[in-house]
Chain A
Amino acid sequence: MAVAHQHHETPKAGTPPPFWTIARRDSLAGFLFIAPQLIGIITFVLVPLGLVFWYSLHEWNVLANTFTFTGSQNYRMVLEDTNLLEVLGATTIFSVGLVVLNLSLALLLAVLLNQKLAGIAVFRALFFSPVVVSLVAWTIVWGFLLQKNGGINGMLLMVGIEGPNWLREDVTAMISVIVVQVFKNVGLNMILFLAALQGVPKELYEAARIDGAPAFKQFRRITLPLISPTILLTSIITIVGSLQVFAQIAVLTQGGPGLSTTVLVYYLYQQAFQFDYFGYGSTLSILLFVIVAVLTFAQWQMRKRIVFYEN
């Protein structure tokens, strides 16, 4: 980057035009500016992506130190792996549950925070606060609360309800990991929705009120269409984020009971780093990549149909 700006002496009369024209200097500067990022993407994203595909075509025995080309064998294993079916089921339930709960709660909170009430900034900060609490700390305290004799069951018992062993039963374990993640991060979407709500022109509501439209109808006909770009954006971020959830599962349930909370990333981690099946782990990585790519692509396609307008 030091080279880019050393050549700004003006050309002397009679000399041929300098090699370092403004356009050339800009090109060089441009390349130098983006070089660290581009080299980084090649080294830490594109090369590994190529490698992970290459690994996925091999049987890799770490102990015997063999690396044999097996073509599509790992991919056939994907189709035959009955555990994987359960894993994909758990991943789907987790992601769908998370996105639905997260977006609806975020929208509800944003609408509440958009009211003219004294002290609303305090509420906003408090709803947002879990975002800045260390993820594993947050997960640990929820794990503690959700123990059989933990705080939540203690409080339930005070009103005469005997709570379940939340993290040790299929259904409640799944609900727990979803809920813990939603409360951790819903503040982000809440703020994005709040910004979107505040961008809706007030005159529209005035006009609707004069026409006698009830509040619910105003929300459905004015608010929702106008914030639809934000809904799309947050749903993409949230769904891709849900596929990356790892720490919460590792700390709360270790994928259990059984495979009921083993999401794809956790399964991938187990196969590659606990059982040393690097080849199969790589195949699962490719599967994760394809799922993320398809979902992102589908959601951008949906934009054309659902999103009402775009800036």
Chain B
Amino acid sequence: MKTDLSPRLRVALYGLMCVLLIPFVFPTWWMVTSSIKPISDIFAFPPQLIPQNYDWTTYSKVFELQPFVQQYWNSAYIAAVVTIGTMVVSSMAGYAFARIRFPYADTIFMIVLLGLLIPSEVTIVPLFQMFLKAGMVNTHWPLILVPIFGAPSVFVTFVMRQFFVTLPAELEEAARVDGLGRFKIFRKIALPLAKPALASVAIFTFLHSWNLFLEPIVFLSSADKFTLPQALTQYTDAYGGPMWNIQLAAATLTALPVLIVFIIAQKQFVEGLAHTGLKG
């Protein structure tokens, strides 16, 4: 299939890809540009692909109407803690399932894999009741503990196990002869080699936490506890209708930092995903 393409085919392919790109790229452009238009222009006809007038006060309203800085911090620190915690829990479990022989390892692995089969939506009702009893409703604990230890981390454990299985046994043998214990072998030998795999699962763990929506709206009830996805939907007028320009400004502030990181490190994002044992 990979041949030298004729110039005409080349142009056709570029043309096709550019058309296909529109629904992928245009919404982001429309979000950013509409957020800086005055409210009178955002539904203007014909649509203004490039803003004619600017109104930056929308952005200050984002911060006036809600504790947006606090909400930003909530999302950021929760996602960071979840990412680090998941890396620790899942790389250790993945390592043990791949490299350590211990009784009932296969049975325990099957039990853990059950987490893949049970979407967190299935258990949201009892989880709410459990956290209610524990006095942790309207705190960030459910958003931190469940992803790190529960079902969402199982996928990461699985990916890490697939990675550690491929490590050559000789590496560890040599370390054992030198008298290193299991934890040191894991920490000093296996983990450094796992950096690329860890980096890509870290990206997706972060995004997963950053995007959580059902859990925050179930568990959190006060504005200063909200995470970003939840906060974005709260910019509504007296009738419950969205205040579009403010929502779009807040959405832009939410989306742009991650997009910028992605642009800088897109190779790691894309190739990491492809090489993380996800291949069929």
Binding site for B on A (CB under 8 A): 1-2, 4-8, 22-23, 25-31, 33-34, 36-41, 43-49, 51-52, 55, 108-109, 111-112, 114-117, 121, 123-138, 140-145, 147, 149-151, 154-155, 157-158, 179, 183, 187-188, 191-192, 194-196, 199, 202, 205, 215, 218-219, 223, 227-233, 240, 243-244, 246-247, 250-251, 265, 268-269, 272-273, 278, 281-282, 285-286, 288-289, 292-293, 296, 310-311
A136 close to B278 (CB less than 8 A): no
Q: Can you pick out 17 interface pairs between chain A and chain B where the beta carbons lie within 8 Å of each other? A: A8-B181, A29-B181, A30-B101, A31-B102, A37-B92, A37-B149, A44-B150, A45-B150, A52-B125, A115-B1, A116-B4, A132-B259, A141-B27, A143-B242, A154-B45, A155-B47, A282-B125
Confirm or deny: B39 has a beta carbon within 8 angstroms of a beta carbon on chain A: no
| Chain A residues in 8 Å Cβ range of B150 | 40-41, 43-45
Is B223's beta carbon under 8 Å from chain A?
Answer: no
Main secondary structure of the interface of B (DSSP, over half): helix
In the bound assembly, the distance between CA atoms of A281 and B120 in angstroms comes to 14
Q: Taking the nearest CB of chain A, how far is it from the CB of B159, in angstroms?
A: 13
> Given A129-B262, A246-B213, do A26 and B182 touch, yes or no (CB 8 Å)?
yes
Scan B245-260; emit 1 where CB is below 8 A from any A CB, else 0.
0011001101100110
- Contact, CB under 8 Å: B31 / A141: yes
Instruction: Give bound CA distance, A39 to B93, whole Å.
Output: 11
Chain B residues in 8 Å Cβ range of A293: 117
Once A5-B182, A37-B112 are accepted as A-B contacts, the answer to whether A117 and B14 lie under 8 Å apart by CB is: yes
Residue numbers in A under 8 Å from B43 (CB-CB): 147, 149-150, 154
The listed residue (A30, A112, A183, A310) touching B105 by CB distance below 8 A is A30
Contact B182 A129 (CB under 8 A): no
Is B148 engaged at the interface, CB distance under 8 Å to the other chain?
yes
Complex contact A140–B247 (CB within 8 A): yes
CB pair A195 B274 closer than 8 Å: yes
Starting from the known contacts A25-B182, A136-B233, A233-B278, 13 additional A-B residue pairs (CB-CB under 8 Å) come to: A28-B102, A29-B96, A36-B93, A38-B93, A45-B118, A52-B126, A127-B21, A132-B259, A134-B232, A144-B42, A145-B30, A154-B46, A247-B211
Q: How far is A167 from B275 in the complex, measured between Cα atoms in Å? A: 38
**B120 / chain A contacts, CB cutoff of 8 Å:** 244
With an 8 A cutoff between CB atoms, is B124 at the interface? yes
B95 close to chain A: CB less than 8 A: yes
A29-B181, A150-B43 known; A244-B121 Cβ under 8 A: yes
Q: B280 on the interface (CB 8 Å rule)?
A: yes
Contact present for B2 and A144 (CB under 8 Å): no
Could you say which of B25, B111, B251 contacts A136, with CB atoms under 8 Å apart? B251
Q: A40-B89, A116-B2, A292-B117 are in contact. Are A285 and B148 (CB under 8 A)?
A: no
A183-B120 Cα distance, complex, nearest whole Å: 24
**Which of the 9-residue segments B53-61, B63-71, B265-273 touches chain A?**
B265-273
User: What bracket does the count of chain B residues touching chain A fall in?
Assistant: 35 or more
A1 touches B1 (CB 8 A): no
Where the two chains meet, the residues of B that have a C-beta atom closer than 8 Å to any C-beta of A are: 1-2, 4-5, 10, 13-14, 16-17, 20-21, 23-25, 27-28, 30-31, 34, 42-43, 45-47, 88-90, 92-93, 95-97, 100-103, 105, 108, 111-112, 114-115, 117-130, 145-146, 148-151, 153-154, 157, 176, 179-184, 186, 207, 210-211, 213-214, 217-218, 228-230, 232-233, 242, 244, 247-248, 251-252, 254-255, 258-259, 261-263, 266-267, 269-270, 273-275, 278-280
Given contacts A55-B126, A134-B258, A292-B119, contact A30 B96 (CB under 8 A): yes
**Known contacts A151-B47, A205-B1; is A138 also within 8 Å of B27 by CB?**
yes
Check B122–A289 contact: CB distance below 8 A: yes
Q: Write out the residue numbers on chain B whose beta carbons fall within 8 Å of the beta carbon of A231.
A: 280
B10, B251, B274: the one contacting A194 at CB < 8 Å is: B274
Interchain residue pairs A-B with the least CB separation, the first 5: A5-B181, A40-B149, A30-B102, A44-B150, A229-B280
Instruction: List B contacts of A281 (CB < 8 A).
Output: 125
Q: Are B93 and A33 in contact (CB under 8 A)?
A: yes
Min CB–CB distance B107 → chain A (angstroms): 11
Given known pairs A34-B108, A40-B153, A272-B125, the reply for A126 and B119 (CB within 8 Å) is no
A130 / chain B contacts, CB cutoff of 8 Å: 24, 27-28
Q: Report chain B residues within 8 Å CB of A140.
A: 31, 232-233, 242, 247-248, 251
Question: Taking each of A151, A232, A286, which has the highest tally of chain B beta carbons within 10 Å of its own beta carbon?
Answer: A151
Q: Is the CB of B184 within 8 A of A45?
A: no
Shortest B79–chain A CB gap in Å is 11
Contacts of B267 in A (CB 8 A): 121
Candidates A36, A46, A247, A285; contact of B229 at CB < 8 Å: A247
List of B residues within 8 angstroms of A188 by Cβ: 273
Rounded to whole Å, the gap between the CB of B157 and the closest CB of chain A is 6
Distance in Å: Cβ of B266 to nearest Cβ of chain A: 4
Within the complex, the shortest CB–CB distance from B211 to chain A, in Å, comes to 4
| Contact A33 B92, CB 8 Å, known A117-B14, A232-B280, A288-B121 | yes
Q: Which residues of A contact B108 (CB under 8 A)?
A: 34, 38
- Which of A112, A136, A243 counts the most B-chain CB atoms under 10 A from its CB? A136
Nearest CB in chain B to that of A293: its residue: B117
